[in-house]
Structure 1
Amino acid sequence: MRYEKVLTLALASMGLLVGARAEAGLLGVDVSKWQGYVNWNAMESSGVDFAFARATRGNDYDDEYFVRNMNGARAAGIPIGPYHYSQPATSMNAYSDPVKQDAINEANDFVDAIQPFYEQYPGSYLRPVLDVEELPTSAEVDTVSEQKTYLSAWVKDFNSVVQERLGLDVIIYCNSNYARNYLTSDLSSFDLWIARWTYTTSSRPTAANLGIWDSWDFWQFSDSETIGGESPVDGDYFDGTVDDLQAFIVGAGPLEGDYNNDGFVDAADYTMWRDSYLAFGDWPADGNGNSVVEQGDYDLWSANYGEAAPPSATAVPEPVCVLLLAVGLASLASPHRQVSGHHR
């Protein structure tokens, strides 16, 4: 990880960072086979904080660079998520069962491709995305109203498979035209990745661009950036901080034994346990959740000592002092100070 990124995160964790970087959004890219071999280390060095990669298209095409992109971004410490390019059926009646089956087939193909990544490396990947930028064009579905009904039902059927198999809702990617005209209002509960090319991050999407949504989470601001040696590449923006991005990372929960929640199980967590030993109530060091800080919480810390969150968790370690650890462990032989239990 770049020195400046580590420094930024360290300052933010101490509440010392003020000004533009603390409040600014994050830079991202999205890629597919059209970018070929992406140098993800160069992307990270260029300031890329997140990415998306195409996994599948329709129900019979897997992007040949998908696996390489997912593994390369993860190795470089960049949270990356998969997206599916949807191709709603164009030859079926809008209200027939084959429409539902088409969405289910595409969703199953998508999940087959992405599920192994979430299972093998929890905490490394962003939630999946459904890319919506094609309309049904059959004679039975040719008015805006019919296309809107058809496409919205298709999206919900697709998501039902992802939800059933992965326990996740998709993020919807679409442009302003689709957001305004082709998706029903009940889809506004999904997180939005809006495509609106202004070629500058200073001209953000407004309410007029969002249709059924009242806010966006990700924004594709350009289709022709030069980033990390890639040109052209889609430029993206996340409307939040590094901490905010954690909400979109699958399996990025807290580490057991990480009582100060800094992403590392270290001597500082032992100190928190020691200082609240035998305290009753909702203390951070009550790792097993039985409302008292006791030996079981120490055992949990000890079993996980040295563990760190995945690179995507972006936590910054506190300095680990070997002497502190040795002294702390030795103090186990001494009587423990009892602390009055209460909520901090």
Structure 2
Amino acid sequence: MQARKKGNAQGIDVSRYQGKIDWKAVKAAGISFAFIKASQGKSYRDKTFIGNAQAARAVGVLVGAYHYVDDSAKTPEDARKEAANFVSVIDSAGGIASFDLPPVMDYESNKSGLSKAALTAVAKAFLQEVERLTGVRPIVYTYPSFIGNFSGLSDYPLWIARYSSTQVPPGASGWSRWDFWQYSDGSTGGTLPSETRKVAGIAGPVDLNEFDGTVDNLRARFGKRTAAPEKESVKDAVFQVDGKTVGKALLSGSKTNVPLRVLATAFGVSCNWDNSNKVAYLDGRKLQSVQLVEGAAYVQLRPIAESYGAEVSWDAKNKIAALKLKGDK
């Protein structure tokens, strides 16, 4: 993978272990972004998350949230419950739209002795559920010694930990580059451009990170997203299920949105629209990225399809968004 370079945006990641943080001093020390621990497992919530997120945003630090997948996650269903806990905590801090950076899956432990296939299944279920609930593609955080457990996840942005001032993280499991590199735990590894590991405003050690690009590059790569596409950017397309046209698709940039009820019918699950609260549910689960078009609720196709094990393809020439259900040839 690539080396660090001069001018890269510098960041930190924090949790309750850092105690009281002076975010104004952190910002003045040259820190541009921060990932803040939100949750762990199916129910744990970091008590400092909301306060840290609000204080960091107030001084202009770009903020993202991360969740630690613990060893109690042994099945995809366990992973989806952890994802629900994570998104619930994000909601309590203002919702995904109030964060500058994508949500992060921190997966680095296997004390349960799961196989590589089982670990990948847990990771994939967590990532897909977070994307389904938020409409934002998550980031994968892990270590070089753990990344080899994953397969088929390299489409997700990578945040890799390797505490060194000279050794770059090795390519693995389909990843050949990193978006974020955690190069120090505050005690060992690389140093900040100021040649120190100490960050003003934080009493003890803190993890140090670097984005592969400038602060402007970081904003461009992971800038704020709106839940609903702008009207002028929306284009019509055809939505097909197993080769049959079932409705209209709406295109906005790289996002494909389809009618909620049509998608629910395709998967054979229930859906409903709570008009008073403007909230949609699919199979009893709340959806966050929803838009109303001519009285119909539209939702993002890909994250929902992937959570059900289905495949999505795009025919650019004929403007067809195609869904192939699980098991179909």
1:67 counterpart letter in structure 2: I
Provide the residue aligned with 2:88 in structure 1: 112
> Tell me, what secondary structure is at the counterpart of 1:245?
helix
- What is the percentage of aligned positions where both structures have the same residue? 35
CA contact (8 A) 1:194 1:210 kept: no
Provide the C-alpha distance between the structure 1 equivalents of 2:140 and 2:96, rounded to a whole number of angstroms.
Answer: 25
> Tell me, what secondary structure is at the counterpart of 1:172?
strand
Q: How does 1:29-48 map to 2 (within 5 A)?
A: 29-48=12-31
> Tell me, what secondary structure is at the counterpart of 1:187?
coil
Provide the residue aligned with 1:196 in structure 2: 162
Provide the residue aligned with 1:214 in structure 2: 176
CA contact (8 A) 1:29 1:50 kept: yes
Q: How does 1:222-241 map to 2 (within 5 A)?
A: 222-224=184-186, 225-230=197-202, 231-241=204-214
Shift of 1:88: 3.9
**CA shift digits 1:272-306 (9 cap, x unpaired):** xxxxxxxxxxxxxxxxxxxxxxxxxxxxxxxxxxx
Provide the residue aligned with 2:105 in structure 1: 130
Shift of 1:24: 1.7
1:227 counterpart letter in structure 2: V
Shift of 1:210: 4.2
**CA shift digits 1:91-147 (9 cap, x unpaired):** x6xxxxxx121001100000000135454864x521100001111525xx4xxxx2x
1:41 counterpart letter in structure 2: K
**CA shift digits 1:144-163 (9 cap, x unpaired):** xx2x1111110111112111
**CA shift digits 1:250-287 (9 cap, x unpaired):** 3279xx9xxxxxxxxxxxxxxxxxxxxxxxxxxxxxxx
**CA shift digits 1:165-201 (9 cap, x unpaired):** 111121000011112x2111x1111100000001x3x
> Tell me, what secondary structure is at the counterpart of 1:232?
coil
Shift of 1:87: 1.1
Q: Does 1:251 align with 2:218?
A: no
Compare the two structures and name the one with the higher strand fraction: 2
Q: How does 1:129-148 map to 2 (within 5 A)?
A: 129-138=104-113, 141=114, 146=115, 148=116
Q: Per the alignment, do residues 118 and 64 of structure 1 end up closer, same or farther by CA in structure 2, a change over 3 Å counting?
A: closer
1:127 counterpart letter in structure 2: P
Provide the residue aligned with 1:161 in structure 2: 129
CA contact (8 A) 1:88 1:136 kept: yes
Q: How does 1:271-290 map to 2 (within 5 A)?
A: none
2:107 counterpart letter in structure 1: V
Provide the C-alpha distance between the structure 2 equivalents of 1:58 and 1:157, rounded to a whole number of angstroms.
Answer: 14
List gaps (5 residues or longer) in structure 2.
Answer: 187-196, 231-329
CA contact (8 A) 1:53 1:66 kept: yes
Provide the C-alpha distance between the structure 1 equivalents of 2:76 and 2:226, rounded to a whole number of angstroms.
Answer: 32
Q: Per the alignment, do residues 216 and 204 of structure 1 end up closer, same or farther by CA in structure 2, a change over 3 Å counting?
A: farther
Provide the residue aligned with 1:77 in structure 2: 60
Provide the C-alpha distance between the structure 2 equivalents of 1:85 and 1:210, rounded to a whole number of angstroms.
Answer: 21
Q: Per the alignment, do residues 172 and 54 of structure 1 end up closer, same or farther by CA in structure 2, a change over 3 Å counting?
A: same
> Tell me, what secondary structure is at the counterpart of 1:53?
strand
Provide the residue aligned with 2:282 in structure 1: none
> Tell me, what secondary structure is at the counterpart of 2:55?
helix
2:77 counterpart letter in structure 1: Q
Q: Which has the larger displacement, 53-62 or 220-229? A: 220-229
Compare the two structures and name the one with the higher helix fraction: 1
Provide the C-alpha distance between the structure 2 equivalents of 1:252 and 1:205, rounded to a whole number of angstroms.
Answer: 35
1:245 counterpart letter in structure 2: L
2:62 counterpart letter in structure 1: P
**CA shift digits 1:295-335 (9 cap, x unpaired):** xxxxxxxxxxxxxxxxxxxxxxxxxxxxxxxxxxxxxxxxx
Provide the residue aligned with 1:178 in structure 2: 146
> Tell me, what secondary structure is at the counterpart of 1:84?
strand
Provide the C-alpha distance between the structure 1 equivalents of 2:37 and 2:222, rounded to a whole number of angstroms.
Answer: 17
Q: How does 1:14-29 map to 2 (within 5 A)?
A: 24-29=7-12
Q: How does 1:322-341 map to 2 (within 5 A)?
A: none
CA contact (8 A) 1:88 1:102 kept: no
Shift of 1:76: 0.8
Provide the C-alpha distance between the structure 2 equivalents of 1:151 and 1:30, rounded to a whole number of angstroms.
Answer: 24
1:235 counterpart letter in structure 2: L
Q: Which protein has the larger Cα radius of gyration, Structure 1 or Structure 2?
A: 1
Q: How many residues align?
A: 212
2:162 counterpart letter in structure 1: R
Provide the residue aligned with 2:72 in structure 1: 89
Q: TM-score, normalised by structure 1?
A: 0.58
Provide the residue aligned with 2:168 in structure 1: 205
Shift of 1:82: 0.4
List gaps (5 residues or longer) in structure 1.
Answer: 1-21, 93-98, 257-344
